[in-house]
């Protein structure tokens, strides 16, 4: 049996791994040209119950840079990036196999949701994640608690983080049901101003050349912004007063945008409250003379609502308006009826075909005969109207049963699952037999 060699016998010292210093990241305050994205990230950091931010735009527009910069402001908060190949167990946690084998004890191994607590959970290409993972992310983002019941373990832990998801519309969009559960929506685009492009490139090259010096130049602004963010988060713990005019403004905006449900109203009020806290935190009230001002209730006005309304309604408005273009496309059953009698009328009635042709298009926005099919078309993205993504979503059926545990399948009911497959198999066998040996006419 060959003898294992000791590196020290050959006169060579063993390799010593030196831990690398944590890399420096581009400062949040140095980002230029993405004011709306920065506003959305700060509002969600102030009030995590908003439900996260979905950022849509091309590559190279500072989406990841802004998310990492926000984590720096919340330091020592973690920044956790969710990989596309992530599994349910990796996300929510599972049984600690090592603990079970070595100590014969059931223990919980935390997942990425636990590691991101108090920081930023970044999901690049969130539109490419399986719906089961997105459901889990949105459930935990809304509740702030991760509940796990699997592998003989029942466990729950706090999981409050800022959810930042990015997507490129050219690669497909999220279903409207999932978009509605994301708090704020931001659309970033390319910079077309030459002077601004120069400033952005100069700043990036300066950071790449000497990161430490560049970060030091923005240190004071970073610290001031971090203190203001902390004051704004603390302001939400005090009394909050929402003016009646603000309540009415939120309701009217939701009705005008034709959004589904009331989630948009709730998120808009939370975002407006965070905006009010952010503006109130502009002045440092740490002095004793300002104790009376600190005791005043945080007041939410229609002006605060107006500043956040587009962030809340943009992606929901797109989902709410999706039925219009889908309904404008005539479904296959309605045109068949008007087109059948078209060749039948004699030439003397030539005035009727032009009158009969607009009928399939005008009722396309109103008939309810194709309701099941219309629901599937409504779920299609309004921009491309592609059907390649929709059939897979439709095949999954309702995902509410997976909302709590993601990939955990519901326990089957024997009486229901035993009947339907047999019935379907019997029908298939019968149809094949009839096709192979059709009945002969008497």
Q: Which residues are catalytic?
A: 263
Nearest to 185 by CA among 263, 74, 299: 263
Cα–Cα dist 40/46, whole Å: 10
In sequence order, what DSSP letters do the residues of 92-134 get, joined into one string?
A: HEEE-HHHHHHH----EEE-HHHHTTTSEEEETTGGGS-HHHH
The token duo for 163 is 């959810």
Question: Residue 36, Cβ neighbours under 10 Å: how many?
Answer: 16
The token duo for 205 is 């090259």
Cα–Cα dist 81/64, whole Å: 10
Cα–Cα dist 46/233, whole Å: 5
84: left (phi over 0), alpha (psi -120 to 50) or beta: alpha
Measured at the alpha carbon of residue 113, what is the angle toward residues 107 and 114, in degrees to the nearest 5?
A: 50
Question: Residue 159, Cβ neighbours under 10 Å: how many?
Answer: 24
């Amino acid at each position: 049996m060959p003898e294992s060699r000791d590196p020290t016998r050959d006169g060579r010292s063993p390799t010593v791994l030196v831990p690398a210093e944590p890399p420096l990241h581009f400062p949040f305050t140095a980002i230029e040209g993405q004011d709306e994205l920065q506003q959305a990230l700060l509002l969600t950091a102030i009030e995590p119950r908003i439900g996260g931010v979905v950022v849509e735009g091309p590559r190279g527009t500072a989406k990841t840079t802004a998310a990492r910069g926000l984590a720096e402001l919340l330091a020592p908060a973690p920044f956790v990036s969710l990989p596309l190949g992530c599994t349910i167990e990796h996300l929510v946690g599972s049984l600690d196999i090592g603990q079970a084998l070595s100590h014969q004890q059931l223990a919980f191994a935390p997942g990425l949701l636990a590691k991101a607590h108090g920081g930023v959970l970044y999901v690049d290409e969130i539109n490419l994640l399986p719906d089961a993972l997105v459901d889990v992310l949105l459930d935990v983002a809304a509740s702030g608690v991760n509940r796990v019941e699997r592998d003989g373990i029942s466990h729950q832990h706090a999981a409050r983080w800022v959810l930042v998801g990015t997507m490129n519309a050219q690669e497909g969009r999220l279903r409207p049901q999932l978009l509605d559960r994301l708090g704020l929506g931001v659309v970033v685009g390319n910079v077309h101003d030459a002077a601004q492009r120069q400033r952005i490139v100069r700043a990036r090259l300066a950071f790449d050349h000497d990161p430490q010096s560049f970060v030091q130049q923005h240190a004071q602004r970073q610290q001031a912004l971090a203190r203001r963010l902390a004051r704004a988060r603390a302001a939400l713990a005090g009394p909050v007063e929402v003016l009646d005019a603000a309540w009415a403004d939120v309701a009217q905006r939701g009705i005008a945008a034709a959004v589904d449900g009331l989630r948009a109203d709730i998120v808009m009020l939370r975002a407006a409250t965070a905006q009010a806290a952010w503006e109130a935190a502009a002045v440092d009230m740490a002095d004793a003379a300002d104790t009376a001002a600190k005791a005043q209730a945080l007041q939410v006005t229609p002006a605060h609502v107006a500043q956040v309304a587009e962030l809340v309604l943009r992606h929901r408005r797109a989902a709410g308006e999706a039925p219009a273009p889908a309904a404008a496309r005539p479904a296959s059953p309605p045109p068949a009826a008007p087109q059948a009698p078209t060749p039948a009328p004699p030439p003397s009635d030539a005035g009727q075909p032009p009158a009969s042709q607009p009928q399939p298009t005008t009722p396309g926005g109103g008939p309810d005969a194709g309701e099941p099919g219309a629901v599937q078309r409504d779920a299609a993205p309004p921009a491309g109207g592609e059907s390649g993504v929709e059939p897979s979503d439709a095949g999954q059926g309702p995902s509410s049963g997976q909302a709590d545990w993601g990939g955990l399948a519901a326990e089957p009911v024997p009486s229901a699952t035993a009947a339907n497959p047999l019935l379907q198999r019997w029908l298939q066998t019968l149809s094949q037999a009839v096709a192979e040996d059709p009945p002969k006419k008497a």
